[in-house]
């Protein structure tokens, strides 16, 4: 029997320090205190960490006087060999460009326009079979909660998935501006496909059926990709819209970091409760690394490498000593 119990700080620190294995078994093998794999598994399945706990961490990292954007997007935590894990279902992954087994996670980020810093302030686990909620429902509920918390963004930025009429109306209902890419085949004006319109550099006023008049800009990338970006902003400039939509990339960076440096998708616990707890703790671990990034100007990957350097150096020294003998 373990002499000690697992704690939030122990588990979170393990996620920060590890780079390959993120299981309870791995933690029991490297823990500085004596603790069994079973004790860790029980602890993980019995905690009740919630998305609201993230706000308690995030609110102290927000500069209340800094203008900011709200950026929403979702990602799939891949569980390709884990059909027996609760919360896992087949979902489309933009990263894999295919339907894969995984857990859907809808995220809402705060992005400071002066500091250019992005942090998660809310999230939802997509589990329609249990709560009956779609990703769009989670999105609009997070917006309402953000409004209740007193945050007033310069704009809400979403991708094409969240640019439905209902979502745009939900953003507008809070008195907020939105900036969103539209699909090229979206029907606008009088049954005209967006891609058939001649859009000048300064943008074009178009009518979204069921919504009203908005301004759309056409951006052509060096590789030939064309993006149509619309907004309900008053008198928007091309430069302003381009800067806002560029900031949306920060959510992709966050998704990559929390997966690659905090093991958010590496938990193999069977129960949904344990998975939810692991997800929160991985995000909490990301926050600890983010604080170090701001303080020491070190990326999350540099932090990981510094931890590995110590172990690798010691191993090399031991191997060289063995060779000498």
Can you tell me the distance from the alpha carbon of 139 to that of 70, in angstroms, rounded to the nearest whole number?
11
- pLDDT score recorded for residue 317: 87
Q: Are 215 and 236 in contact (CB under 8 A)?
A: yes
Can you tell me the distance from the alpha carbon of 311 to that of 147, in angstroms, rounded to the nearest whole number?
47
Q: How far, rounded to the nearest angstrom, does the alpha carbon of residue 55 sit from its chain's CA centroid?
A: 14
By CB atoms closer than 10 A (0-12, 13-18, 19+), residue 174 is middle
Backbone angles phi, psi at 11, to 5 degrees: -65, -45
Positions of the chain with pLDDT lower than 70, given as ranges = 1-3, 83, 325
- pLDDT score recorded for residue 311: 84
Taking the model in full, what pTM does it have?
0.93
Can you tell me the distance from the alpha carbon of 72 to that of 54, in angstroms, rounded to the nearest whole number?
16
- pLDDT score recorded for residue 1: 44
Can you tell me the distance from the alpha carbon of 159 to that of 157, in angstroms, rounded to the nearest whole number?
7
Q: How many helices (H) and strands (E) does the chain have?
A: 11, 11
Closest among 178, 180, 177 to 194, alpha carbons compared: 180
Can you tell me the distance from the alpha carbon of 55 to that of 61, in angstroms, rounded to the nearest whole number?
10
- pLDDT score recorded for residue 3: 62
Give the angle 86-87-93 at the CA atoms, nearest 5°: 135
CA distances 302 to 87, 115, 119, 284, 294, Å, are 33, 21, 19, 18, 13
What's the chain's length in residues? 325
- pLDDT score recorded for residue 16: 93
């Amino acid at each position: 029997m373990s002499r000690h119990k697992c704690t939030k700080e122990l588990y979170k620190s393990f996620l920060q320090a590890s780079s390959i294995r993120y299981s309870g078994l791995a933690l029991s093998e490297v823990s500085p205190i004596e603790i069994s794999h079973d004790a860790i598994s029980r602890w993980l399945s019995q905690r009740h960490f919630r998305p609201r706990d993230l706000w308690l961490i995030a609110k102290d990292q927000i500069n209340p006087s800094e203008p900011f954007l709200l950026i929403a997007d979702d990602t799939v935590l891949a569980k390709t060999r884990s059909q027996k894990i609760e919360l896992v279902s087949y979902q489309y992954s933009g990263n894999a460009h295919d339907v894969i087994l995984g857990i859907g996670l809808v995220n809402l980020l705060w992005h400071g326009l002066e500091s250019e810093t992005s942090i998660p302030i809310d999230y939802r686990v997509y589990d329609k079979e249990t709560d009956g909620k779609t990703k769009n429902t989670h999105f609009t509920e997070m917006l309402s909660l953000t409004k209740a918390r007193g945050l007033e963004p310069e704009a809400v930025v979403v991708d094409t998935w969240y640019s439905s009429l209902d979502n745009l109306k939900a953003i507008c209902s809070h008195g907020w501006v939105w900036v969103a890419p539209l699909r090229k085949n979206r029907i606008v004006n009088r049954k005209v496909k967006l891609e058939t319109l001649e859009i000048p550099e300064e943008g074009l006023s178009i009518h979204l059926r069921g919504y009203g008049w908005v301004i759309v800009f056409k951006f052509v990338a060096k590789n030939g990709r064309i993006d149509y970006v619309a907004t309900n902003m008053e008198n928007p400039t091309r430069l302003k819209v381009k800067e806002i939509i560029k900031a949306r990339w920060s959510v992709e960076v966050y998704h990559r970091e929390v997966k690659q440096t905090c093991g958010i998708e590496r938990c193999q616990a069977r129960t949904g409760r344990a998975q939810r707890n692991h997800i929160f703790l991985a995000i909490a671990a990301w926050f600890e690394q983010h604080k170090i990034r701001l303080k020491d100007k070190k990326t999350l990957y540099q932090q990981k490498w510094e931890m590995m350097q110590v172990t690798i150096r010691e191993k090399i020294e031991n191997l060289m000593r063995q060779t000498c003998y």
